[in-house]
Amino acid sequence: MEIKKFEEKYLDSLNELLFQCFSVEKEGKTAQSDIELIAVSEDKVVGYLVLNRMVDSIKDQNYFHVNYVCTHPDFRGQHIATKLFEVVFDICRKENISYLELTSNPSRIAAHHLYHKLGFQVRNTTVFRKEIL
């Protein structure tokens, strides 16, 4: 298994994973400032996450918001998400990223265990969204 940046040749395989995990498919290109990481096994995408580059203008710090963390169900328990995050932590150190943030559905108990294990802390907040388009 290899962790690398997303390449268009993996789009179909990635969309299978995204649909299976989130009932969504990737549309369009990734913003230049964002980073998409994939875990590939035998030319199949088995893990994925997106790093959206953000700026905390109050603290004058760069950070990443982490989105779409997922592992193919047949490959769970093989520490794929942990390996993806190890690459993320290396990127953060190299690019002077102060912190990571993510949100997670309350039902994703295994994911929450992983985030705690990796040193993430739960913030006392509620996420609000207003759809515009």
pLDDT for 58-71, tens place per residue? 999 999 999 999 99
The confidence score (pLDDT) of residue 97 equals 97
Q: Is the pLDDT of residue 50 over 90?
A: yes
| Nearest by Cα to 37 from 77, 79, 67 | 67
The confidence score (pLDDT) of residue 129 equals 87
R_g (Cα) of the chain, nearest Å: 15
What global pTM score does this model have? 0.92
Q: Which domain holds residue 106?
A: 2-117
CA dist 19 to 15, 23, 87, 89, 116, Å? 6, 4, 24, 27, 26
Helices in the chain by DSSP H: which ranges? 11-22, 80-94, 109-117
Domain presence at residue 123: no
Domain presence at residue 27: yes
The confidence score (pLDDT) of residue 29 equals 85
Domain presence at residue 49: yes
Domain presence at residue 131: no
The confidence score (pLDDT) of residue 126 equals 87
The confidence score (pLDDT) of residue 125 equals 87
Domain presence at residue 56: yes
What count of other Cβ atoms lies within 10 Å of the Cβ of residue 84?
Answer: 20
Mean pLDDT of 97-114: 93
Q: Is the pLDDT of residue 31 over 90?
A: no
Domain presence at residue 80: yes
Domain count, the chain: 1
pLDDT-derived band at 30 (thresholds 50, 70, 90) equals confident
Q: Is the pLDDT of residue 1 over 90?
A: yes
| CA atoms of 122 and 2, how far apart (whole Å) | 30
Domain presence at residue 132: no
Domain presence at residue 54: yes
Q: Please work out, in degrees rounded to the nearest 5, the angle formed at the alpha carbon of residue 51 by the alpha carbons of 16 and 97.
A: 160
pLDDT-derived band at 28 (thresholds 50, 70, 90) equals confident
| CA atoms of 16 and 77, how far apart (whole Å) | 20
Residue 110: give its domain's CATH number: 3.40.630.30
